[in-house]
Structure 1
């Protein structure tokens, strides 16, 4: 039986542009939006809007608009009641014509922190409460491969993220928590996150609470191109399994483990 993730877990792959879609459960502080795409050689401009609704005439909490117009810049703005407010113009361009990019919008208490290709670009302060955001719009001269929203609202957090997590609230890394009811056949654990640029390795352990044994050890090693699997019983590690056709983890990328 194929597992189908509920709405809010599913990344959007290769959407048609212009794109308009919902943000299930909205956004909150600590959420992030990961966008992977590319811009053509003949780009003039594109934009990303966080909408206070799910239609293109909704108020816009964040308007992110790179413009290649001879005086390359990125324009930030908001729109309320059909009226655009004062623009923030950043006369710097983090995108390059004909190249791929990875962009992250981090929602903080102060505003929207924009990162492009692993580098902080600009913080745009909140003008509209982030709790009003319910949609995402992307249009213009851009191709999008992946849209992934991490840590959305949905009752205080996606199931599996934050306040809605059935086994406890997710905290800072390193994280340790109980799995309510334990594991059983067909039960699924979903882990969503992002590997920062420069990351070398990470580990996910399923621990037997009574003995402290590690039933399953998952250890992606980015600097070696390996994903090591193992178990630890009675204080001793078993034989590592290293064979894998490809390493599904990459620095700067979102991860979803099912």
Structure 2
């Protein structure tokens, strides 16, 4: 799914509304200004331009030099510039710069044609914002998500096709998704608030009812917890033993994420931004009695869908 920002003013700074994972693409379309020396597209680790946040990729066409300079900024220090390649830009002309995310590098295309690769100097998980500045009048910025990671798995249960996405619902979000069963997938996209305490995702028998098959509670700053993911189940209003072990914390304030919850025969599997995160063994049965999805806390939900 693509998210589009139309006709923003220049300079523009905003969150990248897709996960920065292999296959994601950002298109910046507009018209170059006639009396400017160049323009700048930056993929940044934050939304500040003065002083500038760490910058994973600065793509800077310079008309006065007839070169396109690429670089990264870390701890207020610019690295070595890359300048090879031609200069496919003209003053006063329309332009489409596409940045394709790969595991080891970015590929940049100009008007659909390959221009360059740029190897990662800053990890992808830190990249959260895009800025577009200087001599370009922007018509649109389009964010295209990478394909989701978990394939649909064949099961002996009645299959259902993809359900149309629920876009930009309010939080808290409660939805009757029908019974869960092995092979069912829940797709959730969103952006945590700028200063989040926590948000949680729940699979329940009724909205905030006595039985909860799976809660996944992302705690940024809650009580004594910092960047902790708490998993648990609730039966007859009694919470069971928590699970907390996880290798990394995959979400960040003001940064877009995509999550998949895959129901398997013996467990839930969770992936975030196309990376496997955790498994949680089923504690409550039968699975079919759990029909509600509830999302609550400090998060703006952009899309939910079921398959």
Given the two structures, how large is their TM-score scaled by the length of structure 2? 0.48
Asked if the contact 1:67/1:74 (under 8 Å) is kept, the reply is yes
Asked if the contact 2:39/2:61 (under 8 Å) is kept, the reply is yes
Name the SS for the 2:3 alignment partner.
coil
Q: How many angstroms apart in 2 are the aligned matches of 1:90 and 1:12? A: 31
Q: Does 1:124 align with 2:110?
A: no
Closer, same or farther in 2 for the Cα pair 1:188/1:131, shift >3 Å? closer
Give the counterpart of 1:38 among 23, 28, 31: 31
After superposition, the C-alpha distances for 1:77-117 in whole angstroms (9 at most, x for unaligned) are: 00000111111113521111111011110111231100001
Which structure 2 segments of 5+ residues have no match?
A: 168-307
Q: Does 1:80 align with 2:74?
A: yes
Q: How many angstroms apart in 1 are the aligned matches of 2:162 and 2:97? A: 37
Q: Does 1:110 align with 2:96?
A: no
Asked if the contact 1:26/1:133 (under 8 Å) is kept, the reply is no
Name the SS for the 2:103 alignment partner.
coil
Asked if the contact 1:36/1:144 (under 8 Å) is kept, the reply is yes
Given the two structures, how large is their TM-score scaled by the length of structure 1? 0.56
The number of residue pairs the alignment matches comes to 161
Which residue in 2 is equivalent to 1:66? 61
Which structure 1 segments of 5+ residues have no match?
A: 1-7, 153-160, 170-177, 191-258
Asked if the contact 1:72/1:91 (under 8 Å) is kept, the reply is no
Larger Rg: 2
After superposition, the C-alpha distances for 1:107-153 in whole angstroms (9 at most, x for unaligned) are: 1123110000111001011111111100000100001111011116x
Q: How many angstroms apart in 2 are the aligned matches of 1:16 and 1:41? A: 17
Q: Where is the strand percentage greater, Structure 1 or Structure 2? A: 2
Asked if the contact 2:85/2:116 (under 8 Å) is kept, the reply is no
Alpha carbon RMSD of aligned pairs, Å?
Answer: 2.6
Closer, same or farther in 2 for the Cα pair 1:78/1:146, shift >3 Å? same
